[in-house]
């Protein structure tokens, strides 16, 4: 089985990215073959500052490695190092209907929020499809919001196969069952666009301050809170605490007689502990960026070879080679 996923370097990673997506990548790296890339071409639809994009791309690679992605088991590379993918993207674009892309929720959402749409944003799912099809990926671990794009990819692959023969492998999306939505500090879905994130590698002190400012309800301390599973703090705690700590916390909520300040402190303590090891690994990697660049170059070598084979297959099938 071949696993592939990509993540955009549009900001520093937050808990939502980790528990909703990155954690799954890392769990799946032991499959026969795995490909993980930093989607810097996708990021270009929003980031227009070259130094920032370079820095965020390197930071993303460092973060993934620090969080446990092992370059001896997985291929890690930058999307822009595989030009074959952009070429494949054109072959797919030529057969993509406008309607299919107009129906994509992520595009519709951005438009609705008044974000000026460029053509890159509109065709985003087609580049994403090329990313996936270029490596004959079987499984694509993603956050729930990306499932529609995987469906687009399957549609495009089926239609190409239908017209030109059996060229592309049909991929499947894979979402972690309980990862659906990590709440942000305001209780809404955590997202950098909502400015409510807890960054993975923020210094412990400012992170603790953010946690202490998380919005809570105004029910009196003594009141039991049997609906603890809906509580933002509890949902965050569950991600970083041990099972027995969670069970104790659930009891406390059901009993009542506690202040949210206590829970916030518990969340911050558990987070410090949970991320201590990756934090130390990150510092070590950040001190040796040349090693990280080497890892990306090695990953790109493997990825280019595979993408080259698939591109040739597609070019021959549609008659441009």
- Residue 140 contacts which entry, ligand TRP, ligand ADP, none (Cβ below 5-8 A, type-dependent): ligand TRP
CA separation for the pair 136, 170 (Å, rounded) = 8
Q: How far is the CB of 287 from ligand ADP (least distance, A)?
A: 26
Q: Which of 134, 139, 38 is nearest to 87 (CA)?
A: 134
Residue 154 · residue 128 · CB < 8 Å? no
Whether 192 is catalytic:
yes
Q: Could you say which of 146, 185, 196, 232 contacts ligand ADP (CB under 6 A)?
A: 146
* Binding-site ranges for ligand TRP (CB under 6 A): 4-8, 39, 42, 128, 131-132, 140, 142, 146
Shortest reach from residue 108's CB to ligand TRP, in Å? 15
Catalytic, out of 111, 174, 181, 192: 192
192, 265, 279, 281: which one binds ligand ADP (CB under 6 A): 192
Residue nearest to ligand TRP (CB): 6
**Residue 266 interacting entry, from ligand ADP, ligand TRP, none, C-beta within 5 to 8 Å by type:** none
Angle at 269 between CA 268 and CA 274, to 5 degrees: 95
Residue 189 is among the residues annotated as catalytic for this protein:
yes
Q: Which of 2, 12, 181, 265 binds ligand ADP (CB under 6 A)?
A: 181
**Which entry of 110, 210, 225, 264 is annotated as an active-site residue?**
110
Say whether residue 60 binds ligand ADP (CB under 6 A): no
> Can you spell out the DSSP letters for 3-70?
EEEEE--SS--BHHHIIIIIHHHHHTTTSSEEEEEE-HHHHTTT---HHHHHHHHHHHHHHHHHTT--
In the complex with ligand TRP, the residue whose CB is nearer, 106 or 161, is: 106
DSSP H helices, the chain, are: 15-17, 23-27, 40-43, 50-66, 83-93, 98-102, 105-112, 119-122, 124-133, 147-164, 204-212, 232-240, 243-255, 260-274, 276-286, 289-318
The single residue of 111, 174, 181, 189 carrying the catalytic annotation is 189
Q: Which residues are catalytic?
A: 110, 189, 192
């Amino acid at each position: 089985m071949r696993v592939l996923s990509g993540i955009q370097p549009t900001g520093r990673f937050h808990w939502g990215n980790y528990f909703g997506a990155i954690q799954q990548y890392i769990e799946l790296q032991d499959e026969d073959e795995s490909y993980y890339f930093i989607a810097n071409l996708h990021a270009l639809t929003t980031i227009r500052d070259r130094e920032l994009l370079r820095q965020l791309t390197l930071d993303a690679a460092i973060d993934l490695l620090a969080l446990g992605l092992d370059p001896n088991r997985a291929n890690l590379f930058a999307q822009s190092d595989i030009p074959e993918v952009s070429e494949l993207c054109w072959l797919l674009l030529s057969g993509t209907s406008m309607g299919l892309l107009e129906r994509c929720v992520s595009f519709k959402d951005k438009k609705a929020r008044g974000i000026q749409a460029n053509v890159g944003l509109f065709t985003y799912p087609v580049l994403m499809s090329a990313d996936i099809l270029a490596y004959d990926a079987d499984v694509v671990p993603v956050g729930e919001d990306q499932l529609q794009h995987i469906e687009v990819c399957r549609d495009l692959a089926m239609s190409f196969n239908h017209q030109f023969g059996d060229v592309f492998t049909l991929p499947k999306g894979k979402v972690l069952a309980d990862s659906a939505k990590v709440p942000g500090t305001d209780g809404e879905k955590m997202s950098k666009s909502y400015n409510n994130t807890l960054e993975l590698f923020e210094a412990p002190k400012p992170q603790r301050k953010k946690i202490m400012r998380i919005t809570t309800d105004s029910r009196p301390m003594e009141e039991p809170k049997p609906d603890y599973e809906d509580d933002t703090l509890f949902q965050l705690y569950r991600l970083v605490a041990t099972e027995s700590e969670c069970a104790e916390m659930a009891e406390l909520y059901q009993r009542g007689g506690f202040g949210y300040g206590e829970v916030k402190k518990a969340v911050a303590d558990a987070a410090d502990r949970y991320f201590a090891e990756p934090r130390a690994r990150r510092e070590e990697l950040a001190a040796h960026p040349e090693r990280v660049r080497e890892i990306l170059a090695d990953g790109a070598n493997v990825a280019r070879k595979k993408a080259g084979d698939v591109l040739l297959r597609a070019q021959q099938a549609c008659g441009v080679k």
